[in-house]
Amino acid sequence: MIEFEIPQDVRALRDRVRAFVDRELLPLEVTGGAGPPDPETIAAVRAKARAAGIYGPHLPRRYGGLELDWRSIAVVFEAAGRSLLGPLAINGAAPDEGNMHLLREVGTAEQHERYLKPLAEGTVRSCFAMTEPPPGAGSDPSMLRTRARKTAEGWSIHGKKWFISGAEGAAFAICMARTSDDPTGRRGATMFLVDADNPGMKVERRIETLDHMTPGGHCVVMFEECQVDDAAMLGEVDEGFRYAQLRLAPARLTHCMRWLGVATRAHEIAVGYAAERTAFGRRLSEHQGVAFQLADTEIELHAARLMIWHTAWLLDRGERARHESSMAKTFVAEAVFRAVDRAVQVCGSLGVSNDIPLATFLRESRPFRIYDGPSEVHRMAIAARLFRRSGSVA
């Protein structure tokens, strides 16, 4: 049975997170695309989050986290997402959050100590190096061209990665490389943990992008005869595609949780503005053209929240939830952008100004419809599963 009532302790935690965001983070927000917060600011807000008892809702207690289930994480991540600084403060931002989940599930005890522990404690950052420039892997991971060749000492990795979020300043990368050829495209990739000081890995450049708030930016990363030993292999050889799915399904959902918080905040700003601003002798809220836009946002955010909660419930039951996470990612990404776009429209010139954060939200949220699978790719996968389930041929 699905229970929609939020437990009292989770409600209390959500309210503490929301109060923390309002008190500690909103005053630190910088509009106008000034870039991500500096490491000192991130460290400071994380220290405050620990003191407030809200740090690491998704992390094990042995690493200072709260070890919540997915349904509770959904509630807390949404509350933290009301500020773009919120996920960073609780150490629940991408790509680190997804990498921590992957390390927990696949890593050895030694890898937990060397990589997961400092990442969970918030003393280092990481990146996930899978995407490549054309004709390499992008929306289709089976096009992976980076190669790892077995050597007497371990492995030699060679290839070029593109749009690797958080690469600049990351302590290590989880690199996907092809280790064998499989005609089905389902096997043949392996994950490797590569330290940033490895002379064979180089951050070539930081790509100028629409969004500006990701620490470490989005980068081109080169692996040139990058030597790693066998202990650097994450999981088993040739099982990287399977592990990528293990990482991506929950990571898609946590993205949805965080961005739902942004959309909720944008909606709050628009509702407050419409209730106060007057035009043509009436408040904007009394004009049907404005009121209906905000009603549509209210409907879509409610639907988005329920899709997130249902997928989280499936994950808590131990199910893979690939189909549901694809549907949630597609719907939520598009609903979030519509919500922010409507908020900008309702607020007019103020909405496109840098006096309030809506313009920043619009710019930062637009790429969500592309990363972790573009909406079109998810629709293709959803349709393929639909036709397989019905016994038809897609």
Paired sense of beta strands 218-228 and 172-178, if any: unpaired
Q: Which helix (H) or strand (E) holds 129?
A: strand 126-129
pTM to 2 decimal places: 0.96
Q: Please report, for residues 140, 245, 247, 278, the alpha-carbon distance to residue 161 in angstroms, rounded to integers and kept in the order given.
A: 14, 19, 19, 51
pLDDT tens-digit map of 133-172 = 999 999 999 999 999 999 999 999 999 999 999 999 999 9
pLDDT tens-digit map of 328-363 = 999 999 999 999 999 999 999 999 999 999 999 999
Residue type, 177: A
Given pLDDT bands bounded at 50, 70 and 90, which one contains residue 183? low
Tell the burial category of 377 from Cβ atoms under 10 Å away from its Cβ (0-12, 13-18, 19+): middle
In the block, which residue shows the tokens 């988005």?
Answer: 304
pLDDT tens-digit map of 48-73 = 999 999 999 999 999 999 999 999 99
Q: Which residue has the higher pLDDT, 370 or 183?
A: 370
Is the model's pLDDT at 382 over the cut of 50? Answer: yes
**15-38 mean pLDDT:** 89
Residue type, 394: A
In the block, which residue shows the tokens 């892997």?
Answer: 137
68 token code pair: 């919540």
Q: Which residues pair with 23 in a beta bridge?
A: none
Is the model's pLDDT at 75 over the cut of 80? Answer: yes
187 token code pair: 């096997």
Tell the burial category of 379 from Cβ atoms under 10 Å away from its Cβ (0-12, 13-18, 19+): middle
Phi and psi, residue 179, nearest 5°: -115, -10
With b for 16 or more beta-carbon neighbours within 10 A and e for fewer, the 327-350 pattern comes to bbbbbbbebbbbbbbbbbebbeee
Q: Please report, for residues 258, 298, 321, the alpha-carbon distance to residue 328 in angstroms, rounded to integers and kept in the order given.
A: 13, 17, 10
pLDDT tens-digit map of 294-314 = 999 999 999 999 999 999 999
The vertex-32 CA angle with 375 and 299, nearest 5°, equals 40
pLDDT of residue 394: 47
Measured CA to CA, the distance from residue 147 to residue 134 in angstroms comes to 15
pLDDT tens-digit map of 248-266 = 889 999 999 999 999 999 9
**18-25 mean pLDDT:** 98
Measured CA to CA, the distance from residue 9 to residue 200 in angstroms comes to 48
Is the model's pLDDT at 393 over the cut of 80? Answer: no
Share the mean pLDDT of the chain. 95
pLDDT of residue 202: 98
Q: Which helix (H) or strand (E) holds 220?
A: strand 218-228
pLDDT tens-digit map of 93-147 = 999 999 999 999 999 999 999 999 999 999 999 999 999 999 999 999 999 999 9
Give percent of the chain with pLDDT exceeding 70.
97
Q: 373 in the Ramachandran plot: left (φ > 0), alpha (ψ -120 to 50) or beta?
A: left
Query: In order of start, what are the domains of the chain with their CATH numbers?
Result: 8-121 (1.10.540.10), 126-238 (2.40.110.10), 242-390 (1.20.140.10)
Q: Which residue has the higher pLDDT, 61 or 246?
A: 61
pLDDT of residue 391: 86
CB 260 within 8 A of CB 301: yes
H helices present in the chain, as ranges: 8-20, 39-51, 70-80, 86-89, 96-106, 109-111, 117-121, 240-276, 288-316, 322-352, 358-365, 375-390
pLDDT of residue 155: 98
Which of 181-195, 317-331, 334-348 is least confident? Answer: 181-195
Residue type, 265: R
